[in-house]
Structure 1
Amino acid sequence: MNWDDKKEKAAAAMLTAEEAPRPNADMETHFANGGRKRRKRNHKICIGVTLLILLLIFIVLLLLGLTLFRPKNPTATVDSVVVDQLRTSVDVLNLKANLNLTLQAHLALKNPNRVGFSFGSTSALLNYKGQLVGEAPLPANRVGPQKTLHMNIKLTLMADRLLSESQVFSDVMSSSIPVNAFVKVAGKVSVFNMFKIKVKSSASCDVTISVSSRNITSQQCKYSTKL
């Protein structure tokens, strides 16, 4: 074989190598795009499953909140009212009477819920014929699940608030003094720290006090609760 034949064979081999099939660039791009699409689809599926689980948890908590943990009305009741102090003096000539009165009231705040009930600070009020004559502060507190909070309240009549001395004179002379003790508690029942329901409970007691015996002769209470 001469030199020219060798050159021709080498050129033919190079040509054959150049004409050999190469990987298709479009196919490579297609496979790359397919991989990205699969990753995106898997990512979306993961997000969808997570949202579905969260939705199911929310529905379960909501159903529990509306059934087993459904808010019930806390009730404030006045179990007893007693005369702690009573002093009177009468000026018959001027038809005047001085009255010093302190009542001791026992308040029970019952929480029937399976979750705690929290209420803000308020005041117990003492009224005499529609006129506010005394008050006692009640600090903010919390009543545990299905528990009862007991509070002793001391209500002292403030003589300077008695604007009508003739009415006081008439009641003292008749040995019968009507007063009203009122307390209103407003708070919230929180279910799973997610659902917070406002609750109001009040107690109003009309009390008649005997001046001669210094005791309570009658007591009528009305209670109200509101969600």
Structure 2
Amino acid sequence: MKETHKKKLMAFAIGVLALLALAVLILYFIFRPRPPVVIPTPVSLLHFDFSPDHTIIHSIIMGVDVLLKNRNLAPFIYYESAAVVYYHDVLVGEAPIAAGRIGARKTEYIGTPVELLVDRLVDSPEFLPDVTAGLLSLIATSKTRGRATILGFVKLRAMIAVECHVSVFVWEGAISSKCISSIKLG
């Protein structure tokens, strides 16, 4: 009789352990932290102001945005950062990106308009030849840090970096860009 009792107890213990293992696997696959998906969007030209005779640029405002898709069952919280624009390695524009929160399984734009400092553009020795050719080549970058907390204790930290190579067609008042994004976890 003792032997059957031991076998029943052993079978019960194995069953409980199997159910616990199954529960852990299900929780892992459903609640495991996943990095956000970054979809770079083309840089937009929000404002381009010339003098009436097209000889002087008064102001250029670009929209630097990123589409961020949170795949977690918890919100992704990102911290304050900045978008910066360079012209031949000279900083010509900077704008803050406010801290924010992307809800669970939501997709949102993160970005800001960046007004270029025209005086820094004009001071560059490459400016006049570039304007004469009708093309300004800029690099817009942003790095944003954030985190998602799953089940109150599992934390996923991520740093999202986006770099866009921007071409401003001076005479047409148009813009084109090619963007690359990356995510570093930890």
Q: What is the TM-score of this pair, normalised by structure 1? A: 0.63
Alignment partner of 1:68: what SS? helix
| Distance in structure 2 (CA, Å) of the matches to 1:124 and 1:215 | 20
Higher RCO (CA-CA < 8 Å; seq separation 6+): 2
Confirm or deny: 8 A CA contact 1:69 1:114 kept in the other structure: yes
Matched, 1:198 2:154: no
Q: CA deviation at 1:61?
A: 8.4
| Distance in structure 1 (CA, Å) of the matches to 2:157 and 2:143 | 13
Alignment partner of 1:67: what SS? helix
Matched, 1:134 2:93: yes
Q: CA deviation at 1:114?
A: 1.9
| Distance in structure 1 (CA, Å) of the matches to 2:32 and 2:109 | 24
1:86-139 deviations in whole A, cap 9, x for unaligned? 2457xxxxxx97563111234312111222111111111112122221111111
Alignment partner of 2:172: what SS? coil
Alignment partner of 1:188: what SS? strand
Matched, 1:109 2:68: yes
Give the one of 61, 65, 80 matched to 1:121: 80
| Distance in structure 1 (CA, Å) of the matches to 2:59 and 2:178 | 22
| Distance in structure 1 (CA, Å) of the matches to 2:71 and 2:170 | 39
Question: Structure 1: any 5+ residue segments left out of the alignment?
Answer: 1-55, 90-95
Q: Using a 3 Å threshold, how does the CA distance of structure 1 residues 167 and 212 change in structure 2: closer, same or farther?
A: same
| Distance in structure 1 (CA, Å) of the matches to 2:100 and 2:137 | 31
Greater helix content: 1
Q: CA deviation at 1:78?
A: 3.1
What letter matches 2:32 in structure 1? R
Residue 22 of structure 1 aligns with which residue?
none
What letter matches 1:224 in structure 2? S
Give the one of 167, 170, 184 matched to 1:211: 170
1:158-194 deviations in whole A, cap 9, x for unaligned? 1343484321111111100111221211111101111
Confirm or deny: 8 A CA contact 1:136 1:153 kept in the other structure: yes
Give the one of 60, 79, 84 matched to 2:46: 84
* Matched residue count: 164
Question: Structure 2: any 5+ residue segments left out of the alignment?
Answer: 1-18
Q: What is the TM-score of this pair, normalised by structure 2? A: 0.76
Alignment partner of 2:141: what SS? strand
Structure (1 or 2) with the larger CA radius of gyration: 1
Q: Aligned-pair RMSD on alpha carbons?
A: 2.7
What letter matches 1:181 in structure 2? A
Greater strand content: 2
Q: CA deviation at 1:65?
A: 5.8
